[in-house]
Amino acid sequence: MSQAKISRIETGKILPSVVDVEQIVAALAVPADAAEKLVALARVANVGYTSWRSLARTGLWRGQLEIKALHESSQVVRQFLPAIPSGLLQTPDYARQVLTSTVRGRPERDVGKMLEARLSWQRVLEESERQFEFVLTEQAVRWRRASPSVMVGQSANLAALSERKNIDLSVVPQAGEIRASPLNLFVIYDERLVTVELFSGTVALRDPRDIGYHLELFEFFRSHALRGEKATDFLRSVAEDFSREIE
């Protein structure tokens, strides 16, 4: 570890990672009990929780701007999507349905502002120097979050996005045995941050071991997914299934 980094940690300019603390206590020969406590504190410090209620106080739409900034500061963004397509992949009609409150207790939101912010940060997908990798479950693709006509457009949009050079979009089919459970939506920014979405808010993980574990999860589910032309053809078939419901 460089002296410059140690100085930034000492002055509070950066938060030391768990690995940083482990290296420091080892270098200083800190007694085992004290070292264990310091490492435990570092793990706590490297996990942050933000509730939707706290964001609602200043406007939930501002959260969309924070997400945009995270994407713009990353070269590789990986998203595991077990429930619905993420904001980056949503059509305007589908996004409006997702952003509109339907469950009592959800914080109030300005749907118009949130939609505008969400659609604006979708433009990051057009930046060819960035790589985006998405793993969706078939459930996420087929979940009827909107009317059949909206779902046709949403499925067709996924198919079109899957053909872009800087996008790797795969779908885990329901057929077949997969020995792991898709519990939460999570996003990996490069290999420096993981955000996990809950019903009530978002958890941010910065511990390298947590990040490594989520990278393993991502690759595990992707290893069971349809990719490339197979994923594109599957998504087009889903759009056709929804279109038949309109006829």
pLDDT tens, residue by residue, 154-208: 999 999 999 999 999 999 999 889 999 999 999 999 988 899 998 888 888 888 8
Task: Say what percent of the chain tops pLDDT 70.
Answer: 89
User: How large is the average pLDDT for residues 48-61?
Assistant: 67
The Cα 28–Cα 17 span in angstroms is 17
Residues of the chain with CATH 3.30.870.10: 48-246
Over the range 26-65, which residues count as b (16 or more CB within 10 Å of their CB) and which as e? eeeebeeeebeebbeebbeebeeeeebeebeeeebbebbe
Stretch 91-116: mean pLDDT: 81
Give this prediction's pTM: 0.80
Helix (H, G, I), strand (E, B) or coil at 226: strand
With bands split at pLDDT 50, 70 and 90, how would you rate the model's confidence at 73? confident
CB 157 within 8 A of CB 95: no
Per-residue pLDDT averaged across 18-35, rounded? 85
Query: What letter represents residue 208's amino acid?
Result: P
Residue of higher predicted confidence among 1 and 165 = 165
Q: What span, in angstroms and rounded, lies between the C-alpha atoms of 33 and 28? A: 14
Q: Which long-range contacts (CB under 8 A, 24 or more apart) does 57-60 make?
A: 59/110, 59/113, 60/107, 60/109, 60/110, 60/114
Chain mean pLDDT for the chain? 87
Q: Is the pLDDT of residue 88 over 90?
A: yes
**Could you give the strand order of the β-sheet that contains 167-172, starting from the edge strand earlier in sequence?**
47-51, 201-205, 193-197, 185-189, 76-81, 131-137, 167-172
The second-level CATH assignment, the architecture, of 48-246 is 2-Layer Sandwich (3.30)
Question: Can you give the pLDDT at residue 152?
Answer: 97
